[in-house]
Amino acid sequence: MTVKIGIIICDRYRRCAGGKCLRAMKNREGAFSIYNDIDIELVGYTTCDGCPGGNIEYAGNEMVNNGASVIHLATGMIVGYPPCPNIETFKSFLKKRYNVKVVIGTHPIPQKYLNMHTALQTWETGTWKSVIVPVMADEIIRAHYD
C-alpha cells in the first residue's frame, strides 16, 4: 500500500524548490519519520497563497482528488518569522472538510532556526511545544538542514 501525500508550504517561501521537504521525505526524517516502513508518493505541492490562506480550500480539494490521504503543512510554517498564525485553523479545516490526516511539519527544523526561535522564545507556549516535536530531530540532522 502506498500512502499518498500532499504538502502545503507557507507563501513566504513560494519560490522554494522543495529540496528540504523532498530530501526529508526520501530519508524519512522529520515529520516523515512516521512512514518508516511504508511506501509514500507525493501527489501535490503548493503554497497556502499567503495570509490568511486563500489556497487552503482549493489545494486540499486538489490533493484529495489526486488520492492524498495525508496533507503535511510544511516546516516553513513553523520556522518563519513569525510562525504561521493560522496553522491550527488550516489543520482543523483540512481534517474536517476532506477527512484526511493532517501532519504539521515536513523536514527537520534547521539548527539556525531553532537557535533563533529559542532566543526569541517563540515556541515557549504549550501549543508550539507540541507542534515542533515531530520536526525537532537531533542536532546533527538539524545541522544538515541549515
pLDDT at position 2 is 96
Q: What is the pTM of this model?
A: 0.96
pLDDT at position 126 is 77
Domains delineated in the chain: 2-141 (3.40.50)
Instruction: Extract the residue ranges of the chain whose pLDDT is less than 50.
Output: none
Distance between first and last Cα of the chain: 33
pLDDT at position 88 is 95
pLDDT tens string 14-30: 999 999 999 999 999 99
Backbone angles phi, psi at 37, to 5 degrees: -115, 30
